Amino acid sequence: MTRTEKVVLITGASSGIGEATARRLAADGHRVFLGARRTDRLAALAAEVADGGDRVGFQRLDVTDAADVRKFVTAARERFGRVDVMVNNAGVMPLSPLAELKVHEWDRMIDVNVRGVLYGIAAVLPVMREQGGGHIVNIASVGAYEVVPTAAVYCATKYAVRALSEGLRQESAGDVRVTVVSPGVTESELADSISDPRAREDMKSYRSVAIPASAIADAIAFAVHSPAEVDVNELVVRPAASAQ
């Protein structure tokens, strides 16, 4: 494993996997640039992990706005001079049965989980190719490999992230590394957006066994720290005690 200092951009960095990844990679000596809508949390996190140095930056970010994502990447490049890794982590999971017709929630999942990843790719890919290399890490889910009731749309968005990642890998071989990380049940605020009573109750049982967000951060760090000639393409990380 290498520990060459890199500039790492992380979306959805105000909590959960994004926050844990910021902590882990900053502790590993990388410069991190954080994006999310809750800038108060970003400011507190940046102050904590920077440890008095100039190794952490942040900017408010709405991943559903392509122009905003471009500004985020530009700000990181202006701050640190380059962009080595982009972690497309922002995601939402308002589960519900299709028959409930929560179309606005479907749209939100598509906007954040799919368009947000595409906008992240679009913003960093030209920069990385100009630099001669880079690494894009997309956060999917075990929902990218299975479908369960109430999660049809969510799983569809995560299947899309997996497909986009594989397509990008094939198109970028030898240029930009591509990793898709698929967490199983992980401690996070992701389930807080579930408005459907049945889905919310089912999720309580489903999340009875969960791994900490730091476990996913460790998986991301493993991919980021791999030697330049190694491209870690897919990582699925589940609780050891769970069959799902």
Residues designated catalytic: 154
Distance in angstroms (rounded) separating the CA atoms of residues 232 and 154:
25
Asked if 161 contacts 144 with a C-beta cutoff of 8 angstroms, the reply is yes
Please count the other Cβ atoms lying within 10 Å of the Cβ belonging to residue 140: 28
CA pseudo-torsion sign 148, 139, 229, 175: positive
Distance in angstroms (rounded) separating the CA atoms of residues 105 and 96:
9
Q: Which residues pair with 31 in a beta bridge?
A: 7
In order, the DSSP letters of 78-122 are HHHS---EEEE---------GGG--HHHHHHHIIIIIIHHHHHHH
Distance in angstroms (rounded) separating the CA atoms of residues 133 and 217:
22
